[in-house]
Structures are given as structure tokens and as C-alpha cells.
Amino acid sequence: MIKIDYDPAQTSLGKLLDYFWSVHNPTQVGGQGNDLGSQYRSIILYADAEQKAAAEQSRTGAQKRFRDPITTEIVPLTKFWPAEDYHQDYFDKHPDQGYCQIVIAPKIRKLQAALGGESK
């Protein structure tokens, strides 16, 4: 799970949600790719009613792009725990590791394409 803090003057929640739907498979139940288990499920955690409504509206729009039903959970955030230090910036710390190149790098390329070639 990641927590995204953003400046609404720079981008919108809707745009971030569009990126979210484009960089992973929100129709896969119980994981992503070969990463199986509830800890790998597709989920959006919202902090307030406005975020919930935006996520639900975005999911409805995104569903038009997928043949299978979107299984992404949309649930309230109750508490956020930062990952351990060795998981922070994992891709940057392990760029040549096989998992990063096979699983993470394609997702980053998809996000960069969605951003129009920007790196961040």
C-alpha cells in the first residue's frame, strides 16, 4: 500500500485515480500478477466522504475500459502504517533486482506514459 499526499493545485484526485486504474489490473481477485494474497489486493482507502465519492465515480468510469468486473475495494482509511525502512523506495534501492525489473518497472513505464513521459 502507498499513501499519496498531493497538492490539489498541481493535480486532482480524479487524475490520480485515473493513473491508479491504468497501472495495474483492478479486475484480479486476491492479488496482482504472481503476487497473491490479501496484502496484494487492489484497494482504495479514503479519508472522507468527498474522496469516497470520487473513488466510486472513478471506478464506474474505469469499468468501461475493462471486460471483467473491477474488484478494487473502496473502504475508509482507519490507520496508516509506514512500511519498514527496507521497503521504503524499494525500486530505487534495488533497480537491478529481478522482481523490480519484471513486476515494478513495467508499472512505472505505464505511469510515465500516462503522465506523458514525465518521470514523476
Residues of the chain with CATH 3.30.1060.10: 1-80
User: What is the spatial distance between Cα 102 and Cα 99, in angstroms, rounded to a whole number?
Assistant: 5
pTM beyond 0.75: the answer is: no
What's the pLDDT at 98? 62
Tell me the average pLDDT of the chain: 81
**Which homologous superfamily is 1-80 in?**
Peptide methionine sulphoxide reductase MsrA (3.30.1060.10)
Q: Which long-range contacts (CB under 8 A, 24 or more apart) does 70-73 make?
A: 70/21, 70/26, 70/27, 70/42, 71/26, 71/27, 71/28, 71/29, 71/41, 71/42, 72/26, 72/42, 72/43, 72/44, 73/41, 73/42, 73/43, 73/44
**What is the per-residue pLDDT across 35-81, written as a single tens digit (0 to 9) for each?**
676 777 788 999 999 999 999 999 999 999 999 999 999 999 998 88
